[in-house]
Structure 1
Amino acid sequence: MTTYSGTREFEGATFVRASFKGATLRFSDVSGVTMRGVDVDGLDLDSHDLFFGSLLVNGVDVVPLVDAELNRQFPGRELQKAQTPEGLREGWAAVQSAWQETVTDTPLELVDAHVEDEWSLAQTLRHLILATDAWLRGGILQVPQPFHEIGQIFTGAREMGFDMSVFRADPPTYEEVLEVRAERQRQVTDFLSTVTPEMLGEERDNPWGGGDWHPSVGDCVRVILEEEWAHLRYIRRDLARLS
C-alpha cells in the first residue's frame, strides 16, 4: 500500500472514475473538496475541527445535526460552550463524571491497548494532563514551564520544533498516570470554584504561541472542556472496538 506524506500534489486535482476504496487519510487537509456522484457507503469521517466550519451532504449542512446528536449521547457536552462560571463548573463536573465512568469500567488489560494508530486509554489520559497543563497552568496561570514530564504531546510536535526534552522518554505506569491526572483535575476544579465573570474575560497569550489569537480565560477553560469531551468520545469509540 502506497503512503503519501507531506505532499501537495493532489491540491486542485480532479479524479474521475477513480477508486479510493479502503484508503486512509490522517492529519490531511480535505477542506473545499467537492465530490459528485460518489459511492460513500461506509465512509468514516472523524474531524475535531468539524464544528468550526460546514460539511454539506446532498446540500444539507450536517454539522449542527452531528453536534446535536453528540450532545444527546454525552449529556453535559453542550456546556463546553458555557459563558458563565456556573455553566463552566457544571460542564466540568459533567465531563469528569463521564470520564470516571469510563476509567472505572475499563479492564486493566485494555488500558494500554489501542486501535491502529490511535492512543490507548493511558496515553489519552496523559494527553489530557498535557491539555490541562497548556491551557490552565500555561495559558491561565502563566506558569513559565507548565508541563508535567509524563504528558502525551500531540502528533507532529517534534517536527514543529517543540522542545521534547520536557517529556520523559520511558512510559509511566498506569498508577502514576492516574495520580497525576487526578491532581490536574483537582487544579481545574479548584480554579473554577473561585473564578469570577470578570476573570473569565481577562486576556491571555496563546500557550502554544504564534498567531494573533489572544484567548480569554474563559476561552482557555472552554478549550479544556472541548479536549475532555473529544477524547472521551475517541476512547469510548476505540474501547468498544477492542471489546
Structure 2
Amino acid sequence: MVIYDGPQDLRRAVLIDVDLSGARLVRTNLAGATMRGADVTGTEIDSPWLLEDEGATLVINGVDVVPYLQAELDRRWPGRALRHAEDPEGLREAWTALEATWRRTIDQALAMPDGSVDAKVDGEWSFSQTLRHLVMAIDTWLGRAVLRREDALHPIGQPHADYEADGYDMSVFAPGIPDIGAVLAVLDEKFTMVRSFLAEATADVLEAPRRSPWDPRREVSVRSCLHVILNEGWEHHRYAVRDLEELAQS
C-alpha cells in the first residue's frame, strides 16, 4: 500500500485511467472536483461541511443529493432539524433534543462489551474521545467565546492535533486515556452549563457580539456560537453511532 502523507498539491490536475479503488482519502480537498465515467460503486463519503455550508452541493448523475441527505438525517434523528433555530425557545428545544439523543446513545455504548467505549474504528476517535471533544466544543464556544472565560478549557477535553497551530496551548489537555466515568461526569457538567445558559437567554443576548475563538479579528453573535455547539453535537453523534454500529458487528 502506498501512503502519501503531507502536502500534495494536485489542484486542477487531470487524472485519466487512474485506479483509486479501495483508496482512503483523509483531510482531502475535493471541492469542485469533477468525475466523468467514474465507477463509484460502494464509495463512502463523509463530509460535515457539505451539510453545513450554505449553498453546498453534491451532484450525482445530474441530481443534487444534498437536500435528500439532509432530509434523511433529520428523519433518522428527530430534533436535528432544529439545530439552526433562531429564537431562545427554539434553541432550548434544539438543545433538549440533542442532549436526550446523546444520553440514549451513551446508555447504548455503556451496555456494549467492556472496552467498546475506548475502541477505535479505522483510526477515528473512540466513543470516549468523541465525548471529550464535545466537552472541548462547549468550552470553546460557550465558555471561552460567549462567557469569555479565560480558563474555560477543561483538561479532559479532546483537541485535534492541528489545533496547536490555531493558538491552543496543548499542555492544557491531560495526556492518557481518562476513565469513562470521569469523562461522563465532566460532560454532564457541560451539558448542564448549556442548559442553564439557554434557560436564561433572551433575544437580545442571542444578538450580542462576541469574538470568534478561532479568529479574534472576526465578530460573531452569541446565536452563531450556539449553532456551532449544536452542529458539533449532531455531527459527532453521527460519527459515534456509525462506529458503534461497526463495533457491534465485529
- 1:61 aligns to 2:64 (yes or no): yes
Q: Hey, what does 2:20 align to over in structure 1?
A: 20
- Cα deviation for residue 236 of structure 1 reads 0.4
- 2-structure distance, mates of 1:119, 1:64: 28
Tell me the secondary structure at the aligned position of residue 111 of structure 1.
Answer: helix
Alignment map for 1:210-225 (pairs within 5 Å): 213-225=218-230
- 1-structure distance, mates of 2:91, 2:168: 30
From 163, 167, 180, the equivalent of 2:169 is 163
Alignment map for 1:1-243 (pairs within 5 Å): 1-51=1-51, 52=53, 53-106=56-109, 107=112, 108-209=114-215, 213-243=218-248
- 1-structure distance, mates of 2:5, 2:117: 30
**Farther-moved stretch of structure 1 (51-60 vs 23-32):** 51-60
- 2-structure distance, mates of 1:159, 1:208: 11
Tell me the secondary structure at the aligned position of residue 171 of structure 1.
Answer: coil
2:76 is matched by which residue type in structure 1?
A: Q
- Cα deviation for residue 9 of structure 1 reads 3.3
- 1-structure distance, mates of 2:218, 2:48: 19
Tell me the secondary structure at the aligned position of residue 38 of structure 2.
Answer: coil
- 2-structure distance, mates of 1:71, 1:128: 20
Tell me the secondary structure at the aligned position of residue 81 of structure 1.
Answer: coil
TM-score by length of 1: 0.96
Tell me the secondary structure at the aligned position of residue 42 of structure 2.
Answer: coil
1:219 is matched by which residue type in structure 2?
A: S
- Cα deviation for residue 227 of structure 1 reads 0.6
Residue 150 of structure 1 contacts residue 171 of structure 1 at CA under 8 Å; is this kept in 2? no
**Farther-moved stretch of structure 1 (89-98 vs 53-62):** 53-62
- 2-structure distance, mates of 1:160, 1:17: 39
- Cα deviation for residue 207 of structure 1 reads 1.1
2:88 is matched by which residue type in structure 1?
A: P
Percent of matched pairs sharing the same residue: 42
Change in Cα spacing, 1:40 to 1:214, as seen in structure 2 (3 Å) is same
Tell me the secondary structure at the aligned position of residue 157 of structure 1.
Answer: helix
2:71 is matched by which residue type in structure 1?
A: A
Q: Structure 2: which 5+ residue stretches go unaligned? A: none
2:102 is matched by which residue type in structure 1?
A: W
Count of matched residue positions in the alignment of Structure 1 and Structure 2? 242
- 1-structure distance, mates of 2:115, 2:123: 18
Change in Cα spacing, 1:198 to 1:161, as seen in structure 2 (3 Å) is closer
Tell me the secondary structure at the aligned position of residue 215 of structure 1.
Answer: strand
**Farther-moved stretch of structure 1 (3-12 vs 19-28):** 3-12
- Cα deviation for residue 161 of structure 1 reads 5.0
Tell me the secondary structure at the aligned position of residue 39 of structure 1.
Answer: coil
- 2-structure distance, mates of 1:154, 1:70: 25
- Cα deviation for residue 5 of structure 1 reads 2.3
